[in-house]
A and B are shown apart, each in its own frame.
Chain A
Amino acid sequence: MEFFGPVLDGFNVVLDPTNLLYCLLGVAVGMLIGVLPGLGPAATIAILLPMTYGVEPVTAIIMLAGIFYGAQYGGTITSVLLRLPGEASSVVTVFDGYVMAKQGRAGAALGIAAIGSFIGATISIIGLTFLAPLVARFALDFGPPEYTALAMLGILLVATISGGTKIKAIIAAAVGLFLATIGRDGFTGAERFTFGNLSLADGIDFVPIAMGLFGVGEILYNLEERHRAATAPVKVSNVWPKGKDIKEASGAIGRGSVLGFFLGILPGGGATIASLASYATEKKTAKDPSRFGKGAIEGVAGPESANNAAATSSFIPLLTLGIPANATMAIIFGALLIQGVTPGPQLINNDPQLFWGVVNSMYIGNILLLIMSIPLIGIFVRILRVRAAILAPITALITMLGAYTIRNSMFDVLLVVFFGAIGYLMKKFGFEPGPLVLAFVLGSLLESNLRRSLLVLEGDPMGFFTRPISATLLVLFIVVAVWPIVKGVIDKRKNSSLAASVAEEKLKENA
């Protein structure tokens, strides 16, 4: 009872009409900006911050939090329908989501993503309610060596999950790793591959690369296709996932939610690695892995559950330790300070109303998002009926606008065009953009943490194996890397022994 008292009080806070209204406002704004790639939740919250000065702290944070997790729902829509992943954590959704849309199953993909997102987020909130103080420490135990091991594992997964040939995936990933090195070296201040251009000093942002390779590349390729053969417009049937779809996806949703909850606690990159790990898990455990990349519903359900669960659990370090896990959390941190509330270990005791009010508002916010998603999906899938001649320029406009809003720079718009051309060529020669983009995101995580680890460990690489978490992750890395080879050998043996026994049988029969 002692524990549940404040929790239930928190519901009283949320059910206050003003708070409910702000929660609705937050998730609605979040969903809208999620649809526009580029204008991320961080920038939106920063711009709307002054609006919250006049309201109660708990009301303000309920709204700002709503913008953040609402944006995760919105981001799925463009990934599936237009092949535009607005954030690194929704890149893997594109693999099967966009294919499903082309097969006329956009409704099923978006529906399952909404359900998965809802379940993932809810499981994560329950985790947040009961486990927050216990798991918060996890975020502190992750030092540079642990992040290095995690990034290595992530990059290995990138190479294994791609649908195309493995060698092409590895080439694309290598290019991604190279692109991640552009910009000012964070350890020596030296310029790398910037050609004296200040716009490249901070490196390239994720958005121009993703928008160019996925979005513009696809448009260009489709335009060429249109001249060859008239493609029939996509039939949009079954606007809602069928019972069979939900059954197929339920395991993926469950696994994705748990992965997302734990990885989301890690500051920096947690959500991306969670979605990646979820996709890899589904592909490895599937009876028929070849379905992946060709419209497997688990390939949408798992990662979407994972990135929403991760978005929710990224509140744990903020609310329990006072550590912002990503750029958006940093701004919410600032918003709390402006309101005179200090996020940190004392928050739950000093200000239980605020803590539980915000946590419980997420239950309500996610229900609101699910309710809003249902009619919106029906409207959004109609986009696919729009002729390519009209849809293509609109998509191009969204990508350019998205890239521009990142830092109000025309340079980034030019980058989209450049990467659009690269994306077109890649598609023409059978390279997938996914491995490139994901390796790019993980590359900078790997490089800076590897160098930081070696500084902390004084140049001794054995240090990676004497720390329990990094050792575990590295063992996992080796297992994932070696397993396909071992499996290949075992399969061969089985086949040859099978062949041998068949031959024996035949001999006996003949005899």
Chain B
Amino acid sequence: MKNRMTRRTMLGLTAAGAALALTACGGNVGGGSNESSSFPSGPVTMTVGQAPGGSTDLIARAAAEGMADSLGTSMPVVNKPGANGALATKEVAAMEPDGQNLVLLNASLITITPLAVSEDEAVSLDDLDVLMGLSQDDYVMVASTASGVKNLDDIKNSKKKLSFGTTGVGTGSQLAQELLLAQADIEGTTVPFDSGSPALTAVMGDQVQVSTVQLGEAKPQIDAGAVTPIVVFSKERNEFLPDVPTAIESGYEVPVSQYRAIAAPKGLSDDVKEKLVASIKDATATDTYKSFNEKNLLSAHEISGEEVVSEWTELAATYKKLTEEHGISLTGK
């Protein structure tokens, strides 16, 4: 008797599991044969090359929410972290260009990562149709309060050799900081951390005296007076930190920001592309999305796909030129 009970329970569990698996896959409701006229023919998947919960992931989810409403279909966000997003991007680039699969791109993957990894690992924009740019995320250099450093001159004149934290190898944080240190002729030890949070924590505890991290992460600590902002690396002053000078206005050529855009596999039909771009425009126009940007300290940078391609290509060339000019290697060799 007892045995049968158990078996029934287990059967029930298995059935529930199967149901769950089915829901997770999501049936392609109303799939049509004529793809361009019937787009979207089911859920449109947005792949993210970063782990859930990070800023890239949050941006993807915020955009997907509005796009789903506009397209009238569901838009699941799937995280496939690996190799700074190269894994996810290469996977999506190889898919059918029917508009059902999109990827959220980080500019650093195209513009900065190639400076740190081998050629066959680098991702090229040639395999993608970039639909639209989304936003700009700035880097800020912060110093520990214990170090007494208040501005760039203090760093230059420091008698003690300082250490400088970055958020990792091949990141915008590393590139921006290395370029500034080289141009300002500052000697210091660069210490890579695994991500922004430990790099910031290390500054708060004065384990390293200076770190360059993304603004969204540093802002609460700047507001609390736990760290001192030194410079931002955007071309113009950041709207959320209007009193902090840019590296450029201090006389250094360091135009480094993180940009994000949405892309699809190369070869979309014009029809589908138009529909997708329109849905991104609808999504970015909603109040929910705008307030999302504001709360995450992201500046809107909603440019067309063509502009994204030319901007990022140009940046990649600039970074390559600057690193060569100043003899900087991101790999510490």
Contacts and interface: CB of A to CB of B under 8 A. Distances in A.
Interface of A: 42-43, 45-47, 49-50, 139-144, 184-191, 196, 198-199, 201-202, 267-268, 321-324, 327, 330-331, 334, 337-338, 340, 342-346, 379, 382, 385-386, 390, 394, 397, 407-409, 448, 452, 455-456, 458
Contacts of B82: 198-199, 201-202, 407, 409
B205 A141 contact: yes
Nearest to A183: B83
Contact of A188 (B17, B90, B169, B296): B169
Contact of B204 (A323, A337, A385): A323
Contacts of A202: 81-83
Nearest to A332: B53
A201 B118 CA distance: 12
A43 B220 contact: no
A322 B224 contact: yes
B160 to A, nearest CB: 12
Interface in B169-209: 169-170, 189-194, 197-198, 200-202, 204-208
B333 interface: yes
13 contacts: A49-B61, A198-B86, A198-B87, A198-B121, A201-B87, A327-B53, A331-B53, A342-B224, A344-B223, A386-B10, A390-B7, A407-B82, A409-B80
B129 interface: no
Contacts of B333: 188
Contact of A143 (B9, B10, B205): B205
B9 A139 contact: no
A46 B53 contact: yes
A455 B163 contact: yes
A186 B14 contact: no
A321 B83 CA distance: 31
Contacts of A45: 53
Contacts of A346: 224
B58 A143 contact: no
A201 B83 contact: yes
A342 B223 contact: yes
B221 A322 contact: yes
Nearest to B288: A53
Interface in B217-243: 220-221, 223-224, 226
Contacts of A188: 169, 331-333
Nearest to B223: A342
Interface string B317-333: 00000000000001111
A345 B205 contact: no
Given A407-B82, A452-B193, 5 more contacts: A143-B205, A267-B198, A330-B53, A330-B54, A342-B220
Contacts of B17: 397
Contacts of A327: 51, 53
A463 to B, nearest CB: 12
B6 interface: yes
